[in-house]
């Protein structure tokens, strides 16, 4: 009988020590998109438009009647404009009409659906937008007209970069889309008239130019005295065979990389460099975090770069 | 790691339990007999043998850790390739990884511990009933492993049912440094024809300390259930059904800023039919096993890696008397296994088939090959693979009187290896212009032979020698892996064109009994590899380590080269009885070296070491003090980090409390008493994961 008692006590002890279980499941969300981002996805075919906050992991329908950013029944193109202002970089999202030629660099209020930005309300970032009509010279304030002017200057600069990249591409390749990492910071320094030491100058020269060609390849260039030079092996995006300008979007993720969205694959790619070469660090299927049936054609987004994003692998 | 119970709580539970148990048993105290042999693992039988078997209770008495490597590391020529406290794969005579087999019964353990140093062995040593080290010709029955085979044997591998009635073997302990502890319960109930066994094991430990500092990510958790149902069908046939489930979760103390950890799961189901005899064949063991092994690798909570291997095995083995003085052991096994690997940041909670488009296969990989001469990949590191293996083994023993035994053994493995790259991102597929037949099926055969001679020169002197020609088929990982490995922070470059690993192995063991109390044991080994497959740092023409372009991590290439590993082990044992006091002194010396034919040394070879152990038995009290000296690493490979020498002083004591129908043992172990900083040279994590500092473990064992 005593044996049974002892056995019972032992089993009880074992079960007690067994409490707690495996407790190392300090897991992140299944999506695990970069923190601190607000992404806007737009489907030019259906005009559906969703805003996705990567901190709350929740999509929000932006086509709300009465809002300036309601795109119901409209077509457009999303452009991220990191406007350099005296205090730094002011991130803006510009929705222009589909017919607007971005190489023209002469945007009028009639080409503009909305110009959006975030402002804080009770410590929460709230998206707000000005409608294109607000930029009508007949009614617009000087500040708003200045914004249009600054945007057009930005577009002109982008076109110059585009031409430079086009020239640097290997023969047979046609530029589809591109992004220059750190370009705004460079502009900001210049506007502030800061002196550049040699190191800073080299960093600015080395600002990676990430170029997507129509064949779906990603080329990385760096600026040298002789012009842009390819800095690493080209790579492709999983599931992408071709690039169309309005169906692949690139935005900055942080100082080290960009987010790329491809309509063809319906995937969001994080291409970054935390060693030497840029590569696709992470890939997310859009249907894992966007509403079912929503197939965006383009995206943009703003938010702080993840300074604490670890690049140890 | 979130810990939900405190050490204090654990200790209090254990102490209360001990007190309750003691009071219940007090009236049944009897004086026990002096039982030296039951305690000591240094007191092997005074003979040389191809097979040495230990009860896990005995090994558990001595071990300072919970891994299979920890359990066996007291054995001559055995070390533990630790990767933090949760991982410890045994190395035997300098052989590591795929060169040492681990089997459950006869079936190769379904885990991936040989694949990479961060992968834990897929079993908890404490759960086995016995652990057997098999070498020489006898080991060819279970595979072609230069380092021999370590067999863990459970109740299902016993031909008989457990003793009739209820029996229980339980052990509970807690550790002063890591908190929590270990619980092991082995229960059995048997009737004349039926039996049921249920074993439970749980081990939980928080980060340990070394040099007064907590070593991050050295926490570990493991839980395992093992159940066996037995049915004695007839006087000569017994059937055992078994099921096993194991969960393991442990931190990887590597250099990454974010926590790296591994979550492992394994299930095994099987049936074993033991037949004492069928016609002229004896001791027939037929076993079928299905097992599913999975582990996740996480970094910062993201699921960056996923490995899954499903394995089925059907085997039979038996003994046959060929002639009056000639016995044969035969074994036949079919093994099928499917391995899947996912390695992509945050996307490895489950396996997915990659997207296929009209894009050119392997374009990104080709660009790297053209630009850098290495086909770098940042996709999944290897395709899904499937192996079908047929193993046939024969060991013939011929006795020449009572003084000689000759062994001749062969092992033949035929394998069909198929690769299916459906998981691979198309841009990282192997481009046809780099390797046109990379994913093609491959069929290969490996043949190993071994001859052994045991001779008794006199009653005092025995020798045993074996000479083997070994062939090992490269693993699918050695052939296909091409990519980053998070846990080891390295880029592994496999070699699709690897040839079989071949070696000629000479082992000589001798024992000389100077007297009944004094004996000397000697082990010599010399392994000459024509094609030693190992991972070595890739260097450029200037001798500078090559770093991968994505993470700037060292590139380790898998290559086959000419190499030699040789060594010497000596054990001296002296016993002395003084009245009721029995003393046993054991000294072990181990020297080994691994050299590449091209010059230089093989990495991660165990440094020279010596162990001195004094055991004392008085009545029912057994105590021992062990001092281990480990030399600094002298024979380091190119680009390998060297390690300082260290001293390890351990003490343990155990009081055996005999009961009418059982026993109760109270024990204490104090490890690394001098709190020395000990870096295990054979570990990949020698810098970041030192061995644990000073700690005390207390526990009790109860059996009836």
Q: Which residues of chain B are within 8 Å of residue A2 when distances are taken between CB atoms?
A: 24-25, 28
Q: pLDDT-derived band of residue B231, with 50, 70 and 90 as boundaries? A: very high
Q: What is the mean pLDDT of chain B?
A: 90
Asked if A26 and B3 come within 8 Å (Cβ–Cβ), the reply is: no
Express each pLDDT in B238-273 by its tens digit. Answer: 999 999 999 999 998 888 888 999 999 999 999 999
Give yes or no for residue B111 having a pLDDT over 50: yes
Are the C-beta atoms of A291 and B564 separated by less than 8 Å?
Answer: no
Residue of A nearest to B659 (CA): A3
Q: Give the list of residues 6+ apart from residue B523 with CB closer than 8 angstroms, or none.
A: B76, B77, B93, B507, B508, B509, B568, B569, B570
How large is the average pLDDT for residues B535-554? 90
DSSP string, B63-85: -SSSSHHHHHTTSTTEEEEESST
Q: Which residues of chain A are within 8 Å of residue B346 when distances are taken between CB atoms?
A: 32, 282
Residue with tokens 């690039």: A243
Surface of B (71-130) touching A: CB under 8 A: none
Laid out side by side, the sheet with A37-42 consists of A58-61, A49-53, A37-42, A298-303
The parent domain of residue A272 ranges over: 2-160+246-303
Q: What are phi and psi of B487, to 5 degrees?
A: -65, -35
Q: Give the list of residues 6+ apart from residue A13 with CB closer than 8 angstroms, or none.
A: B13, B14, B17, B172, B183
The reply to whether A144 falls in a domain is yes
Note the pLDDT of residue A304.
64
Distance, in Å, from the CA atom of A136 to the CA atom of A148, rounded to the nearest integer, reads: 10
B223 touches chain A (CB under 8 A): yes
Asked if B357 and A241 come within 8 Å (Cβ–Cβ), the reply is: yes
* A16-25, B334-343, B536-545, B653-662: the lowest-pLDDT one: A16-25
Express each pLDDT in B142-172 by its tens digit. Answer: 999 999 999 999 999 999 999 999 999 999 9
Express each pLDDT in A51-76 by its tens digit. Answer: 998 888 889 999 998 888 899 999 99
Closest CA to B654 of B52, B123, B62: B62
Note the pLDDT of residue A181.
87
Express each pLDDT in B121-136 by its tens digit. Answer: 999 999 999 999 999 9
Give how many domains chain A has, as a whole number: 1
Distance, in Å, from the CA atom of A199 to the CA atom of A222, rounded to the nearest integer, reads: 15
Q: Which residues of chain B are within 8 Å of residue A27 when distances are taken between CB atoms?
A: 298, 301
Residue of A nearest to B17 (CA): A9
The reply to whether A111 falls in a domain is yes
How large is the average pLDDT for residues B23-28? 40
Q: What are phi and psi of B533, to 5 degrees?
A: -90, 120
Q: pLDDT-derived band of residue A198, with 50, 70 and 90 as boundaries? A: low
The reply to whether A30 falls in a domain is yes
The reply to whether A169 falls in a domain is no
Distance, in Å, from the CA atom of B114 to the CA atom of B105, rounded to the nearest integer, reads: 18
Distances (CA, A) of B440 to A76, B385, B420: 49, 11, 9
Are the C-beta atoms of B344 and B380 separated by less than 8 Å?
Answer: yes
Asked if B5 and A19 come within 8 Å (Cβ–Cβ), the reply is: yes
DSSP string, B663-694: EEEEEEEEE-TT------TTSTTTTT-PPP-S
Are the C-beta atoms of B139 and B269 separated by less than 8 Å?
Answer: no
Closest CA to B61 of B651, B695, B658: B651
Q: Where are the alpha helices (DSSP H) in B405-494?
A: 476-480
Q: Which residues of chain A are within 8 Å of residue B167 when distances are taken between CB atoms?
A: none
Note the pLDDT of residue B671.
93
How large is the average pLDDT for residues A64-92? 86
Q: pLDDT-derived band of residue A195, with 50, 70 and 90 as boundaries? A: low
Report the gap between the CA of B149 and the closest CA in chain A (Å): 32
pLDDT higher at A225 or A300: A300
Structure tokens at B205: 């430990």
Q: pLDDT-derived band of residue A21, with 50, 70 and 90 as boundaries? A: very low
Residue of A nearest to B375 (CA): A233
Give yes or no for residue B14 having a pLDDT over 50: no
Distance, in Å, from the CA atom of B616 to the CA atom of B581, rounded to the nearest integer, reads: 7
Express each pLDDT in B356-414 by its tens digit. Answer: 998 889 999 999 999 999 999 999 999 999 999 999 999 999 999 989 999 999 999 99
How large is the average pLDDT for residues B575-589? 95
A262: how many CB neighbours lie within 10 A of its CB? 28
Are the C-beta atoms of B386 and B316 separated by less than 8 Å?
Answer: no
Are the C-beta atoms of A210 and A179 separated by less than 8 Å?
Answer: yes
Closest CA to A265 of A232, A299, A233, A231: A299
B434 touches chain A (CB under 8 A): no
Note the pLDDT of residue B665.
95
Asked if A17 and B180 come within 8 Å (Cβ–Cβ), the reply is: yes
C-alpha atoms less than 13 angstroms from C-alpha of B456 in its C-beta half-sphere: 15
Note the pLDDT of residue B42.
42
Q: pLDDT-derived band of residue B70, with 50, 70 and 90 as boundaries? A: very high
Q: Where are the alpha helices (DSSP H) in A178-307?
A: 183-191, 198-205
Give yes or no for residue B19 having a pLDDT over 90: no
How large is the average pLDDT for residues B198-204? 96
The reply to whether A196 falls in a domain is no
The full 3-state SS of B314-338, as one line of letters, equals: EEEEEEEEEECCEEEEEEEEEEEEE
Distance, in Å, from the CA atom of B126 to the CA atom of B100, rounded to the nearest integer, reads: 20
The reply to whether A13 falls in a domain is yes
Q: Which helix (H) or strand (E) holds A215?
A: none
Distance, in Å, from the CA atom of B380 to the CA atom of B653, rounded to the nearest integer, reads: 50
Distance, in Å, from the CA atom of B351 to the CA atom of A61, rounded to the nearest integer, reads: 31
Closest CA to A150 of A203, A94, A66: A94
Q: pLDDT-derived band of residue A246, with 50, 70 and 90 as boundaries? A: confident
The residues that bridge with B229 in the sheet, in sequence order, are: B196, B241
Distance, in Å, from the CA atom of A173 to the CA atom of A45, rounded to the nearest integer, reads: 28
Output the CA angle B13-B17-B19, nearest 5 degrees: 120
Note the pLDDT of residue A260.
95
The reply to whether A90 falls in a domain is yes
Question: Cα B552 vs. chain centroid, distance in angstroms?
Answer: 32
Closest CA to B36 of B616, B588, B667: B616
Distance, in Å, from the CA atom of B1 to the CA atom of B250, rounded to the nearest integer, reads: 9
How large is the average pLDDT for residues B582-586? 96
Reduced to 3 states, what is the DSSP secondary structure of residue B428?
A: helix
Residue of A nearest to B700 (CA): A10
Note the pLDDT of residue A63.
92
Note the pLDDT of residue B44.
52
Note the pLDDT of residue B33.
36
- By residue count, chain A amounts to 313
- By residue count, chain B amounts to 704
The reply to whether A268 falls in a domain is yes
How large is the average pLDDT for residues A274-294? 90
């Amino acid at each position: 009988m005593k044996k049974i008692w002892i056995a019972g006590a032992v089993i009880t002890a074992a079960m007690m020590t067994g409490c707690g279980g495996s407790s190392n499941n300090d897991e992140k969300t299944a999506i695990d998109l970069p923190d601190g981002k607000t992404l806007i996805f737009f489907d030019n075919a259906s005009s559906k438009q969703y805003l996705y906050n990567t901190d709350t992991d929740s999509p929000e329908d932006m086509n709300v009647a009465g809002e300036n950013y309601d795109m119901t029944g409209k077509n457009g193109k999303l452009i991220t404009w990191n406007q350099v202002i005296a205090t730094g970089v002011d991130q803006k999202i510009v929705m222009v009409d589909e017919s607007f030629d971005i190489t023209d660099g002469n945007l009028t209020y009639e080409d503009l659906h909305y110009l959006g930005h975030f402002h804080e309300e009770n410590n929460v970032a709230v998206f707000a937008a000005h409608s294109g009509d607000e930029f009508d010279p007949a009614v617009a304030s000087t500040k708003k007209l200045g914004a249009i002017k600054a945007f057009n200057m930005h577009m002109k600069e982008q076109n110059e970069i585009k031409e430079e990249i086009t020239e640097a591409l290997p023969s047979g390749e046609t530029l589809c889309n591109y992004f220059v990492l750190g370009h705004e910071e460079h502009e900001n320094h210049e506007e502030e008239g800061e002196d550049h030491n040699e190191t800073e100058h080299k960093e600015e020269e080395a600002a990676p130019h990430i170029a997507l060609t129509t064949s779906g390849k990603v080329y990385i260039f760096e600026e040298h005295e002789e012009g842009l030079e390819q800095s690493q092996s080209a790579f492709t995006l999983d599931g992408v065979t071709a690039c169309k300008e309005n169906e692949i979007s690139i935005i900055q993720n942080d100082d080290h990389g960009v987010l790329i969205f491809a309509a063809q694959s319906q995937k969001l790619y994080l291409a970054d460099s935390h060693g030497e070469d840029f590569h696709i660090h992470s890939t997310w299927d859009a249907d894992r975090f966007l509403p079912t049936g929503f197939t965006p054609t383009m995206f943009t987004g703003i938010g702080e770069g993840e300074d604490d994003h670890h690049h140890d692998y | 790691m979130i810990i939900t119970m405190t050490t204090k709580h654990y200790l209090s539970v254990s102490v209360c339990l001990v007190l309750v148990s003691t009071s219940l048993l007090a009236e049944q105290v009897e004086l026990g007999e002096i039982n030296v042999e039951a305690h000591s693992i240094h007191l092997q039988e005074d003979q040389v043998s191809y097979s040495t078997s230990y009860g896990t209770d005995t090994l558990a008495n001595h071990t300072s850790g919970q891994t299979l490597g920890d359990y066996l590391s007291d054995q001559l020529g055995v070390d533990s390739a630790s990767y933090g406290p949760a991982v410890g794969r045994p190395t035997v005579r300098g052989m590591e990884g795929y060169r040492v087999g681990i089997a459950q019964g006869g079936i190769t353990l379904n885990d991936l511990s040989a694949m990479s140093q961060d992968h834990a062995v897929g079993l908890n040593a404490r759960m086995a009933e016995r652990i057997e080290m098999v070498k020489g010709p006898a080991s060819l029955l279970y595979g072609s492993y230069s380092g021999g085979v370590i067999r863990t044997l459970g109740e299902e591998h016993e031909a008989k049912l457990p003793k009739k009635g209820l029996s229980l073997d339980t052990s509970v302990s807690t550790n002063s440094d890591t908190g929590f502890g270990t619980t092991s319960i082995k229960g059995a109930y048997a009737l004349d024809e039926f039996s049921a066994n249920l074993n439970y094991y749980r081990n939980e430990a928080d980060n340990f300390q070394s040099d007064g500092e907590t070593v991050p990510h050295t926490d570990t958790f493991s839980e395992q259930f093992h159940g066996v149902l037995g049915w004695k069908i007839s006087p000569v046939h017994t059937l055992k059904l078994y099921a096993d489930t194991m969960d393991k979760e442990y931190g990887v103390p590597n250099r990454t800023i974010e926590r790296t950890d591994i979550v492992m799961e394994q299930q095994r189901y099987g049936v074993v039919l033991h037949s004492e005899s069928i016609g002229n064949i004896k001791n027939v063991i037929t076993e079928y096993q299905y097992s599913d092994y999975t582990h996740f690798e996480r970094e910062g909570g993201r699921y960056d890696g996923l490995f899954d291997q499903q394995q089925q095995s059907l085997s039979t083995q038996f003994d046959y008397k060929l002639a009056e003085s000639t016995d044969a052991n035969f074994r036949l096994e079919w093994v099928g296994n499917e391995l899947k690997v996912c390695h992509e940041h945050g996307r490895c909670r489950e396996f997915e088939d990659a997207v296929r488009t009209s894009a050119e296969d392997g374009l990104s990989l080709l660009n790297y090959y053209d630009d850098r001469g290495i086909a770098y990949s940042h996709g999944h590191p290897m395709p899904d693979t499937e192996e079908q293996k047929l193993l046939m083994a024969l060991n013939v023993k011929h006795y020449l009187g009572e003084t000689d035994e000759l062994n001749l053994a062969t092992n033949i493995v035929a394998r069909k290896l198929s690769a299916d790259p459906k998981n691979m991102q198309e841009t990282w597929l192997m481009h046809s212009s780099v390797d046109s037949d990379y994913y093609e099926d491959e069929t290969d055969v490996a043949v190993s032979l071994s001859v052994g001679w045991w001779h008794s020169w006199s009653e005092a002197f025995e020798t045993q020698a074996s000479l083997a020609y070994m062939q090992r088929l490269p693993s699918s990982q050695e052939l296909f892996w091409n990519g980053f490995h998070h846990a080891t922070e390295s880029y592994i470059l496999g070699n699709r064109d690897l040839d079989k690993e071949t070696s000629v192995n000479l082992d000589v063991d001798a024992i000389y009994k100077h007297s009944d109390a004094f004996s000397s044991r000697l082990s010599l080994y010399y392994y000459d590899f024509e094609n030693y497959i190992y991972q070595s740092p890739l260097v450029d023409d200037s001798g500078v380590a090559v770093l991968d372009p994505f993470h700037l991590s060292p590139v380790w290439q898998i290559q086959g080269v000419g190499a030699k590993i040789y060594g010497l082990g000596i054990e001296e044992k002296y016993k002395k009885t003084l009245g009721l006091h029995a003393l046993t002194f054991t000294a072990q010396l181990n020297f080994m070296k691994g050299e590449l034919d091209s010059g230089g040394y093989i990495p991660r070879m165990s440094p020279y070491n010596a162990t001195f152990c004094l055991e004392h038995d008085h009545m029912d009290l057994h105590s021992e003090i062990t001092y281990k000296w480990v030399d600094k690493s002298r024979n380091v490979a190119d680009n390998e980090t060297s390690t300082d020498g260290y001293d390890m002083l351990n003490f343990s004591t155990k009081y055996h409390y005999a009961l009418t129908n059982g026993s109760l043992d109270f024990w204490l172990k104090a490890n690394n008493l001098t709190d020395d900083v000990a870096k295990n040279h054979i570990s990949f994590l020698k810098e970041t994961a030192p061995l644990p500092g000073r700690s005390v473990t207390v526990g009790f064992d109860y059996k009836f």
